[in-house]
């Protein structure tokens, strides 16, 4: 924890937002939480959403009168862009940039578009980040319960000389100051976030689950049993690790499981795997992943859609959908038929 700067409610206030209007562009996963939490903290908030969408209707139900992104930018002193990464540059160029005047500030929940220069703000505009380390519904529910989720704070441009105070007020307003707001940079947040998603939390984990499932089924074991052993029990292990780290998880499992962990785990994550991790990190750092993703989006996401559909029909998914319908202790959920994100 050496040199890690963490800020709490006591280290700041909402004063920097007093008399100002916050415009939240997008009412999706993060947007709905930021807009409602800030409003409930006494901040004047306007919301921008696309008319005719589910998010537009959700904003109306939450008591907002959604505007266009351009109109929200005109009204806002702090404009928080919570749209999915691939849409931010388009909306920024078309609606936000023409209405962005010196003295305003741009806020982001993820540094992708700023760090990789898909968005280049003009002079006279502060650029700040508050990135809650949790999904939007958790940011909202924790706030309502009187707690909060940890967050990250970063300043890319401090044209006003007051960008940090503004960003900290935003973080406190959404509830992150209750748990702790850690100082970082746009570069660090962006590159570590992408690496974590690709190598461990999403890409690495899903590939590991699929490979484990395939290995057991190919060896003649029942697909339903394989599902339980490689996917269903992940929740228990992840919960233990989140609560007390790797050591607490190992303390909580059997000695047999712990010995298998200690002796077999390094055979799965070996020197070859680590070399590939470093290669992926390099692709993130040099911008080649960002270019690949931006080009993929411009082309209509053909490869993305193909890969999504292939994995949606993977046997572990097919078996899982049927098994979850039988679980009386949990509500089974189903992803949409297309690749659309809930962001």
pLDDT digits (tens, 9 = 90+) for 255-299: 999 999 999 999 999 999 999 999 999 999 999 999 999 999 999
End-to-end CA distance of the chain: 31
Average pLDDT score, the chain: 95
C-alpha to C-alpha distance for 135 and 187, rounded to whole angstroms: 21
For residue 341, CA distances in Å to 83, 85, 290 come to 11, 11, 18
Residue 340 has pLDDT above 60, yes or no: no
pTM: 0.92
Cα 300 from chain centre: 22
β pairing state of 181-183 and 6-7: antiparallel
C-alpha to C-alpha distance for 69 and 49, rounded to whole angstroms: 7
Q: What are phi and psi of 156, to 5 degrees?
A: -95, -40
Render pLDDT for 182-202 as a digit per residue (tens, 0 to 9).
999 999 999 999 999 999 999
- Mark whether 115 is an active-site residue: no
Look at residue 335 in the predicted model and tell me its pLDDT: 79
Between CA 319 and CA 329, with CA 323 as vertex, the angle to 5 degrees is 150
Q: For a pLDDT cut of 90, what percent of the chain falls above it?
A: 93
Helix (H, G, I), strand (E, B) or coil at 7: strand
C-alpha to C-alpha distance for 62 and 68, rounded to whole angstroms: 17
DSSP codes of every residue in 98-154: GG--TT-EEEESS-HHHHTTSS-PPTT-EEEEEEESS-HHHHHHHHHHT----EEEE
Look at residue 326 in the predicted model and tell me its pLDDT: 84
Look at residue 108 in the predicted model and tell me its pLDDT: 98
- All domains of the chain in start order, with CATH: 6-184 (3.40.50.720), 194-326 (1.10.1040.10)
32, 110, 137, 232: the catalytic one is 110
CB burial of 120-130 (b: ≥16 within 10 Å; e: otherwise) equals ebeeebbbbbb
Residue 342 has pLDDT above 60, yes or no: no
β pairing state of 21-25 and 44-48: parallel
Q: What is the mean pLDDT of residues 333-338?
A: 75
Look at residue 343 in the predicted model and tell me its pLDDT: 54
């Amino acid at each position: 924890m050496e040199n890690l700067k963490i800020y709490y409610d006591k280290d700041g206030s909402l004063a920097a937002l007093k008399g100002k209007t916050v415009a939240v562009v997008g009412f999706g996963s993060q947007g709905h939480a930021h807009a409602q939490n800030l409003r409930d903290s006494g901040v004047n908030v306007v919301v921008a959403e696309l008319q005719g969408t589910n998010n537009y209707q959700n904003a109306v139900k939450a008591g907002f009168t959604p505007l266009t992104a351009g109109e929200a930018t005109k009204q806002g002193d702090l404009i928080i862009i919570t749209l999915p990464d691939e849409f931010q540059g388009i909306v920024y160029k078309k609606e936000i940039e023409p209405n962005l005047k010196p003295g305003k500030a741009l806020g982001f929940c993820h540094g992708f578009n700023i760090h990789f220069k898909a968005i280049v703000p003009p002079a006279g505009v502060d650029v700040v980040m508050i990135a809650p380390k949790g999904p939007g519904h958790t940011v909202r529910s924790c706030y309502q319960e009187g707690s909060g989720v940890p967050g990250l704070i970063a300043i890319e441009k401090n044209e006003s000389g007051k960008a940090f105070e503004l960003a900290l007020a935003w973080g406190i307003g959404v509830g992150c100051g209750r748990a702790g707001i850690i100082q970082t940079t746009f570069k660090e947040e962006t590159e570590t976030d992408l690496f974590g998603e690709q190598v461990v939390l999403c890409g690495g984990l899903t590939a590991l689950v699929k490979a484990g499932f395939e290995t057991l089924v190919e060896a003649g074991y029942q697909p339903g049993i394989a599902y339980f052993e490689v996917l269903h029990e992940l929740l228990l292990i992840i919960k233990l690790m989140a609560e007390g780290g790797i050591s607490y998880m190992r303390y909580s499992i059997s000695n047999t499981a712990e010995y298998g962990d200690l002796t077999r785990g390094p055979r799965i994550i070996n020197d070859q795997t680590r070399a590939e991790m470093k290669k992926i990190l390099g692709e993130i750092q040099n911008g080649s992943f960002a270019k690949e993703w931006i080009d993929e989006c411009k082309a209509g996401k053909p490869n993305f859609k193909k890969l999504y559909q292939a994995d949606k029909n993977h046997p572990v998914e097919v078996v899982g959908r049927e098994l979850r319908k039988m679980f009386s202790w949990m509500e089974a959920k189903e992803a949409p038929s297309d690749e659309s994100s809930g962001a």
